[in-house]
Structure 1
Amino acid sequence: MANKVALVTGASSGIGESAARKLKGLGYTVYGAARRVDRMHHLTKSGIKILAMDVTDDASMRAGIDTIIEESGRIDVLVNNAGYGSYGAVEDVQMEEARAQFEVNVFGAVRLTQLVLPQMRAQHSGTIVNITSMGGKIHTPLGAWYHGTKFALEAISDCMRMEVRPFGIDVVVIEPGGIKTEWAGIAADKLRETSGHGPYAAQAHAMAESMIGEASVKRQSSPQLIADTIAKAVTAKKPKTRYAIGFGAKPTIFMRGLLSDRAFDSMMWAATGISKAVKKSGD
């Protein structure tokens, strides 16, 4: 892998950092990108090159890709990992925030993909790895905008996979379950801020607790599991189109296909503790 080059977004922590380290360990030249470069300086000790990149800023993304091509002459792997979870009742979430969720989780990933595809087509090789979520296949209360972005990225990945196949390019979707990262805490805080004080408060506090409660955290998988799966996908001669991995991913996706919509709704209400919270509050 000495001559192969990988770009990983959201590399300042969690899945992104683990993926960058894993690919570097396999011999890739790795560029780790994030908005806050100050959180990535420690990666340089491992030989990872860092880039300041905001996936909502086209000029920032263009500059990053130009730097990689100028320095390394190619891009073999793009890991679209940057993203966050914006939770709150549909009634409560401001449209500005809804658009921001799509800008980061969908449009940023797709725009960066557009920027690397000409180079990959010229090479007649490359792998696009889109980090979606088991949330791209299922739904949970108060997560409409987040799930919407993940459903969208799944669909875009499927369409693009067929489009770029003649050019020797693979598109792979990774669908993590519960992972020990900052994501859950940020999503829970956002949820409480958005819907924790109105008519959806009982649901919001129950859902937030299900995200960051001790019982949930204990069951979460390590980001390294996702990094290992990314490595498996990008080094495979013929990678799978999807990898559902991490706590709860495979069984929850399986149950979504098995149950009716209303039966799955009830399962999610029970699993998140919302059914008890709503009953207790009388709402």
Structure 2
Amino acid sequence: MTTSVLITGTSSGIGRATALRLARRPELTVYATARRPETLADLAGAGARVLPLDVTDETSMAKAVAAVEAEHGAVGVLVNNAGYGEYGTIEETGLDGVRRQFETNVFGLSRMTQLVLPGMRRAGRGRIVNVGSMGGRIVFPAGGYYHASKYAVEALTDALRFEAAPFGVKVSLIEPGLIRTSFGDTAAHTLAGSAAPAGPYAALNVAADRQMAQSYGSKILSASPETVAKAIEHAVTASRPRTRYVVTPAAKALIHTRRLLGARIFDAYLRMQFKAAA
């Protein structure tokens, strides 16, 4: 009997790469999901099963979990991957957009977790892999609301790991650095639309936009989605998965630098970086 793996947000980027990688493993039955399942034809061709799933819609989430449970009894592995970045300064960013982001990045992840856990507890086993970000450990200007959503994922994952352990459920957190997906373009788009060109934060927004473009375009600072998919594969299949997987050398260096230097020195580092980008 194969283990079922339900992955959210597989229409592009990390989710797509993960579905393709896991679908190659004969012991796994991969359920690739997206709001528009017609975008997943290539994943179906690679052996994944395709389901519609919108993590901001209760009915959609419940139906997807029920479909997997009807065939397997329980969801064997949940990979909470769906997410995006709403960028802009704290003062200027519209809170409607922030709420939409939290619905996807935090509440959708939480509700999917709630839906699969009863089945996992009955089965006495299961795995939940949350895709967070290095942005849950460090903060860059003009990204506060996105970082807040990923800090929330950190907290939820740490609590869940302890709570679910007695029931045989293992929980891991994936913390990617800069990954070459459409995420950077989405973040830049929301940043551009968050403030007036002549507003008080105009110079900061321009610098942040350029910094993102340069960083995501760097093959030294960024990595491919397949790099993250490999870490997720380990979390899904290893007998003793890690609690955290920090992905990319640059992410590891930045997290340790922030921890070692403290807030004031890290702020000084940021001022240098954003001045160079302006």
* 3-state SS in 2 of match to 1:26: coil
Q: 2:225 corresponds to which residue?
A: 223
Report if aligned partners of 2:11, 2:34 keep a CA contact under 8 Å in 1.
yes
* 3-state SS in 1 of match to 2:107: helix
Moved more, 180-189 or 95-104: 95-104
Give the deviation of 1:214 after TM superposition: 7.3
In structure 1, what is the Cα distance between the partners aligned to 2:252 and 2:230? 17
Is 1:26 the counterpart of 2:25 in the alignment?
yes
Is 1:46 the counterpart of 2:46 in the alignment?
yes
In structure 2, what is the Cα distance between the partners aligned to 1:269 and 1:7? 42
Give the deviation of 1:98 after TM superposition: 1.4
Q: 2:214 corresponds to which residue?
A: 213
Relative to structure 1, is the Cα distance of residues 51 and 247 closer, same or farther in structure 2, using a 3 angstrom cutoff?
Answer: farther
Q: 1:13 corresponds to which residue?
A: 12
In structure 1, what is the Cα distance between the partners aligned to 2:250 and 2:7? 25
In structure 2, what is the Cα distance between the partners aligned to 1:246 and 1:169? 27
Give the deviation of 1:238 after TM superposition: 1.4
TM-score by length of 1: 0.93
* CA deviation map 1:206-226 (0-9, x unaligned): 111221237734332011111
Identity within the alignment, %: 43
Report if aligned partners of 1:120, 1:169 keep a CA contact under 8 Å in 2.
yes
- The one-letter code sitting in structure 1 at the alignment partner of 2:188 is A
* 3-state SS in 2 of match to 1:259: helix
TM-score by length of 2: 0.95
Q: 1:261 aligns with which of 260, 263, 271?
A: 263
In structure 2, what is the Cα distance between the partners aligned to 1:123 and 1:276? 52
Give the deviation of 1:99 after TM superposition: 1.1
In structure 1, what is the Cα distance between the partners aligned to 2:23 and 2:216? 34
Give the deviation of 1:54 after TM superposition: 0.7
- The one-letter code sitting in structure 1 at the alignment partner of 2:97 is E
Relative to structure 1, is the Cα distance of residues 187 and 87 closer, same or farther in structure 2, using a 3 angstrom cutoff?
Answer: same
Q: Which runs of 5 or more residues in structure 1 are unaligned?
A: 278-283
In structure 1, what is the Cα distance between the partners aligned to 2:195 and 2:108? 26
Structure 2 matches for 1:105-184, cutoff 5 A? Answer: 105-184=105-184
* 3-state SS in 2 of match to 1:248: helix
* 3-state SS in 2 of match to 1:260: helix
Report if aligned partners of 2:179, 2:216 keep a CA contact under 8 Å in 1.
no
- The one-letter code sitting in structure 2 at the alignment partner of 1:19 is T
In structure 2, what is the Cα distance between the partners aligned to 1:150 and 1:82? 12
Give the deviation of 1:275 after TM superposition: 6.2
- The one-letter code sitting in structure 2 at the alignment partner of 1:24 is A
Relative to structure 1, is the Cα distance of residues 190 and 215 closer, same or farther in structure 2, using a 3 angstrom cutoff?
Answer: closer
- The one-letter code sitting in structure 2 at the alignment partner of 1:21 is L
Give the deviation of 1:236 after TM superposition: 1.4
- The one-letter code sitting in structure 2 at the alignment partner of 1:14 is G
Q: 1:234 corresponds to which residue?
A: 236
- The one-letter code sitting in structure 2 at the alignment partner of 1:200 is Y
Q: 1:80 corresponds to which residue?
A: 80
Give the deviation of 1:237 after TM superposition: 1.4
In structure 1, what is the Cα distance between the partners aligned to 2:95 and 2:217? 30
In structure 2, what is the Cα distance between the partners aligned to 1:269 and 1:169? 43
Report if aligned partners of 2:178, 2:216 keep a CA contact under 8 Å in 1.
no
Q: Which runs of 5 or more residues in structure 2 are unaligned?
A: none
Report if aligned partners of 2:178, 2:215 keep a CA contact under 8 Å in 1.
no
Report if aligned partners of 2:184, 2:216 keep a CA contact under 8 Å in 1.
no
In structure 1, what is the Cα distance between the partners aligned to 2:192 and 2:78? 34
In structure 2, what is the Cα distance between the partners aligned to 1:261 and 1:124? 43
Report if aligned partners of 1:196, 1:205 keep a CA contact under 8 Å in 2.
no
In structure 1, what is the Cα distance between the partners aligned to 2:249 and 2:196? 27
Moved more, 70-79 or 40-49: 70-79
Report if aligned partners of 1:221, 1:247 keep a CA contact under 8 Å in 2.
no
**Could you say what the CA RMSD is over the residues aligned between the two structures, in angstroms?**
1.5
In structure 2, what is the Cα distance between the partners aligned to 1:205 and 1:8? 35
User: How many residue pairs were aligned?
Assistant: 275
Is 1:97 the counterpart of 2:97 in the alignment?
yes
Report if aligned partners of 2:7, 2:33 keep a CA contact under 8 Å in 1.
yes
Give the deviation of 1:246 after TM superposition: 2.0
Moved more, 196-205 or 101-110: 196-205
Q: 1:281 corresponds to which residue?
A: none
- The one-letter code sitting in structure 2 at the alignment partner of 1:199 is P
